[in-house]
Chains A and B, each alone.
Chain A
Amino acid sequence: MATYIVRRLLLSIPLVFGITIVIFFLAHHLPGGPLAMYLNTASVTPEQLQHLTVQLGLDKPVYVQYFEWLGKAIHGSLGNSFGDGRPVLAVIGDRIPATLELMGFSFALSVTLAFAFGILSALRRDSLFDYVVTVLSYAGMSMPIFWLGILVIMLFGAQLHWLPTAGMATPGQPFSLVDNLRHLILPMFVLAAFTLAQESRYVRASMLEVIGQDYIRTARAKGLTEGAVVIKHALRNALIPVVTVLTLDAAYLLSGALVTETVFAWPGMGRLFYDSLREGNYPVVVGIAVLVSILVILLNILADVLYAVLDPRIKYN
């Protein structure tokens, strides 16, 4: 197993290189660019633009810029933001806790509810409950996430005034956990909608498949309680395919967070990415894109490893 993991990790190194190259070149050819903000400013002189170009290192050919960036990246620096000149890792680091909070709660929410709904609707196949869950999960999978966000803001924010719809805390007030969690509720549910819907479908399908198997019938025949059958036998085996989906959903949440954070003004990494993209802040754009891509690769490896751990029939050599 250890050798398998090491091999997978080694194999992903060239992949990461490929990704950095593509991302770097794409980012540096994005239209607009970092100077766009200066071009509509009072009396920008050609000299000033020239100095800016040199300061930001944009005067060199892109491949030279890439190798300089790579050299620094290997030593743990992703350059400095074009905005205030802070190191990119510090800029991103500021936003990671917010994104982790949103993603973590959304993930926990969708997993918990997905298992609850999935198992129950599998056990009570074709019941009213099963129908409702099925309809809701199709709805959740088909709902454009930003439209859901807008609807939720319209309903809970603008109409009912139940919950705050922006930011992580009430402006001008000292931090309080309750306040923070109240702000979390709407974006958490919106972000979780898709994964929750998808996962409950998977859990349900997986459970249905397992329940029909011989060993479950045997277990039942042995006189085990229904709870024991479900938990000990059915669930364990049903878990195997679901785990893969869960790991991949974590990757989905990363991109879903971009939309959710923008709609709900959640000060996380996704919104930072969107803002930096609009401002042509290349170092931050590249930094986030590379980090996220690496995370996605790691999650993929994790999915395969978990699969192997859970399913004794699979052997990796």
Chain B
Amino acid sequence: MSANTTAKAAAGVLALLFATLASGPIAPAAAQSASSSDTAVVAMYEEPASLNPILGPQMDFATMVDLTMFPNLFGVQPDGKLTPDLAAVVPTVQNGGISKDGLTYTFHLRAHVEWSDGQPFTAQDVLKTYELLVDPHVNALTTAGFNQVAKADVLDPQTIRFTLKHPYAPFLTTCWSAVQMGIIPAHIFDKVASTDVNKTSFNYAPSAALGPYMFESWKHGAAITVVANPHYYGKRPKLKKIVFQIMPDQNTILSSIQAGSVNLYTFVPIQQVATLASNPLVKIHFYEQSAWEWGQLNFKDPVLQDKRVRQALEYGIDRQAVVDHVWQGKATPTADAQIPMYWSYDAAIKPYPYDPKKAAALLDEAGWKMGPGGVRVKDGKQLVITYSTTAGNPWREETEQIIQQQLGQVGVKIDIHNYPANIFFGNILFHGQFQIAEYEATGGPDPDLRIYRADSCNAIPPHGSNYGAWCDKRIDPLLQQEEASTDRTERKAIFDKISTIEHEEMPSLFYYSPKGILATSRLEGFTPNGYVQPTWDVTEWSIGK
């Protein structure tokens, strides 16, 4: 019988082990509230590729961490206004910071600012940041705007001047605000050959920081920890540490934030909002953001070259139903590539109404007559359109199936073919292998950047992200005028003209601009900001009970 008893003993020990660990001396909920009140935990479902703020590829979560360590010359307030950060003032034409012709920008930097290793912050750091971004050996996060610079001169340790090739209105926001990146230390990168910048140790263990926090550790696959920077020039942050916890599965983030072991959960799927709302610990924040969902149309496809077909598709989709049912009303239908939060938004241009009759009439007019099986036919060819988006994304799959059903009712057969995200962006979009491609476009605080990238004849891949290769000769001259002006009223008038053209031409199916959704648990002092990552005001954060 000894085998029997051995097995029983083994099972007993295991059961005991399980029981002690499971019930444990500390229950999980208690463990959370016992967790130190000087640390905030931020959930990330993707791991940054690097912590060097100037290196690509662009990843929201990398920017979120970088923002705590690497500020830029200007911060961005929730209303989109720039405030001085590392710069002492925001340059304008009035204060002489910007020349009247819009070609030279002079930045006066804040004095007595030190890196976390005690070295002084000077104009050399700004210069180095610019130089590396445009260095062909560096895998730069972006060159937008920086490629407009003709020369950069350090006038004194606290002053740097940039001279542009052409006037470029978004220069401050696109290049020197907290939207994208921060300043890197010249005293460290002077010792790194530009060919080695992509693999220097600074990328995964940055040894100097300028922000309220500095690097402590990166446990790959698990967490990145930053700790308060004693050399920070500004207000001392309330929390000692921020832990960026890598949690690839959103369900685990969901249960962790409910338990209070995660304090901030970004990009919350709308489908989880109801669950979160029922938890007394959790607060949900909705905010306008510079993002919009659209279905790009491919102009290499003869069927979609017909404006009437494009308009018919837009009329045939009940976008309000998508907003109400998929987004639970937390999105705004759009009429063109401008979104409500932009100063350039023209509320007078209304989204197309849902009008299946009008859609049918337009299709009839375009020669697509109703054929057998409820599918329209022209010249013996059925009106079948392939619809692609990123696979495994619940709200996109819901949206496309609603669209499929609605367009089916006006005789347009939609075939769905989705791809994993990297294939969708890398192969399908970039190489124009789609008919309708749905994805979310994002812009910066300046409305120029996105439009310039997606609607210009000069932005057809590989020169930009005009994946549908729409080319309307009226657009580019307008964009040039708009960029050359530093006056907002003047620029808005031009943007309105562009919007009117797009509203008529329907280069893409405009769907809606979804609200940003964030959830916090026991996190106080947090304010959402639609322009920058949520760590923008990290010094204000504290942990409540």
Do chains A and B directly touch (beta carbons under 8 Å) in the complex?
Answer: yes
Interface positions of A (Cβ within 8 A of B):
31-33, 35-49, 51-52, 55, 80, 83-86, 91, 94-95, 98, 109, 112-113, 115-117, 119-120, 123, 153, 157-158, 161-173, 178, 181-182, 185, 225-227, 230-231, 235, 262-265, 267-268, 271-272, 275, 278-280
Could you list some 24 contacts between A and B, CB below 8 A? A31-B422, A36-B422, A37-B57, A40-B439, A42-B144, A42-B453, A55-B198, A80-B199, A84-B50, A113-B10, A123-B3, A166-B256, A171-B261, A171-B262, A172-B245, A172-B261, A173-B31, A173-B36, A178-B21, A181-B21, A182-B22, A230-B2, A267-B221, A278-B421
Residues of B within 8 A of A80 (CB): 199
Residues of A within 8 A of B256 (CB): 166, 171
A171/B223 in contact, CB under 8 A: yes
**In the complex, what distance in Å separates the CA atom of A272 from the CA atom of B252?**
18
Kindly state whether residue B420 has any CB partner on chain A within 8 Å. yes
**In the complex, what distance in Å separates the CA atom of A118 from the CA atom of B142?**
61
Closest residue of A by beta carbon distance from B425: A40
Closest residue of A by beta carbon distance from B225: A172
Interface positions of B (Cβ within 8 A of A):
1-4, 6-7, 10-11, 14, 18, 21-25, 28-29, 31-32, 35-36, 39-41, 47, 49-51, 56-59, 136-137, 139-144, 147, 180, 198-200, 203-204, 219-223, 241, 243, 245-249, 251-256, 259, 261-262, 420-423, 425-427, 429-430, 439, 444, 449, 453, 461-465
CB < 8 Å neighbour of B248 from A94, A185, A271, A279: A271
**In the complex, what distance in Å separates the CA atom of A52 from the CA atom of B462?**
14
Task: Given A95-B220, A172-B241, A182-B24, answer yes or no on A123-B4 (Cβ-Cβ < 8 Å).
Answer: yes
Give chain A nearest CB distance to B513 CB in angstroms.
18
Give chain A nearest CB distance to B502 CB in angstroms.
20
Residues of A within 8 A of B243 (CB): 171-172
CB < 8 Å neighbour of A40 from B11, B31, B429: B429
CB < 8 Å neighbour of A49 from B11, B14, B462: B462
> Which among A117, A153, A166 has the greatest number of chain B C-beta atoms within 10 A?
A166
Residues of A within 8 A of B29 (CB): 161
Task: Given A153-B251, A171-B261, A280-B426, answer yes or no on A120-B137 (Cβ-Cβ < 8 Å).
Answer: no
A39/B252 in contact, CB under 8 A: no
Task: Given A157-B255, A164-B28, A167-B245, answer yes or no on A227-B426 (Cβ-Cβ < 8 Å).
Answer: no
20 A-B pairs besides A158-B255, A271-B221 with CB distance below 8 A are: A35-B426, A39-B425, A41-B57, A43-B449, A47-B136, A83-B49, A84-B199, A119-B3, A120-B4, A153-B252, A153-B255, A158-B254, A161-B255, A167-B223, A172-B40, A172-B41, A227-B1, A227-B3, A235-B3, A278-B421
B426/A33 in contact, CB under 8 A: yes
Give chain A nearest CB distance to B370 CB in angstroms.
38
Residues of B within 8 A of A280 (CB): 422, 426
B4/A265 in contact, CB under 8 A: no
**In the complex, what distance in Å separates the CA atom of A227 from the CA atom of B6?**
10
Give chain B nearest CB distance to A182 CB in angstroms.
5
The list of the 10 closest CB pairs from A to B, nearest first, reads A36-B426, A85-B199, A267-B221, A227-B2, A116-B7, A166-B252, A32-B422, A43-B144, A37-B57, A83-B49
**In the complex, what distance in Å separates the CA atom of A248 from the CA atom of B461?**
49
Task: Given A83-B49, A185-B18, answer yes or no on A91-B426 (Cβ-Cβ < 8 Å).
Answer: no
Q: Does more than half of chain B's interface fall in helix, strand or loop, or is it mixed?
A: mixed
CB < 8 Å neighbour of A262 from B32, B35, B140, B249: B249
Closest residue of A by beta carbon distance from B17: A181
Residues of B within 8 A of A112 (CB): 10, 14
Residues of B within 8 A of A55 (CB): 137, 139, 198
CB < 8 Å neighbour of A45 from B1, B143, B199: B143
**In the complex, what distance in Å separates the CA atom of A194 from the CA atom of B433?**
42
A32/B7 in contact, CB under 8 A: no
Closest residue of A by beta carbon distance from B543: A172
Residues of A within 8 A of B464 (CB): 43-44
Closest residue of B by beta carbon distance from A168: B222
Give chain A nearest CB distance to B29 CB in angstroms.
7
Closest residue of B by beta carbon distance from A230: B3
Residues of B within 8 A of A38 (CB): 56-57
Residues of A within 8 A of B57 (CB): 37-38, 41
Task: Given A161-B29, A170-B31, A230-B2, answer yes or no on A39-B248 (Cβ-Cβ < 8 Å).
Answer: no
Closest residue of B by beta carbon distance from A47: B136
B50/A172 in contact, CB under 8 A: no
Residues of B within 8 A of A120 (CB): 3-4, 7
A158/B251 in contact, CB under 8 A: yes
Give chain B nearest CB distance to A57 CB in angstroms.
12
> Which among A46, A49, A94, A173 has the greatest number of chain B C-beta atoms within 10 A?
A173
**In the complex, what distance in Å separates the CA atom of A280 from the CA atom of B426?**
10
Give chain B nearest CB distance to A97 CB in angstroms.
11
**In the complex, what distance in Å separates the CA atom of A262 from the CA atom of B249?**
7
**In the complex, what distance in Å separates the CA atom of A172 from the CA atom of B222?**
11
Task: Given A85-B200, A116-B11, A123-B3, answer yes or no on A166-B221 (Cβ-Cβ < 8 Å).
Answer: no
Residues of A within 8 A of B420 (CB): 32, 278
A31/B427 in contact, CB under 8 A: yes
A113/B426 in contact, CB under 8 A: no
A41/B220 in contact, CB under 8 A: no
**In the complex, what distance in Å separates the CA atom of A219 from the CA atom of B76?**
85
**In the complex, what distance in Å separates the CA atom of A164 from the CA atom of B245?**
14
B261/A170 in contact, CB under 8 A: yes
Closest residue of B by beta carbon distance from A35: B426
**In the complex, what distance in Å separates the CA atom of A43 from the CA atom of B198?**
19
Closest residue of A by beta carbon distance from B9: A116
Give chain B nearest CB distance to A263 CB in angstroms.
6
Residues of B within 8 A of A85 (CB): 50, 198-200, 203
Residues of A within 8 A of B453 (CB): 42-43
**In the complex, what distance in Å separates the CA atom of A123 from the CA atom of B7?**
12
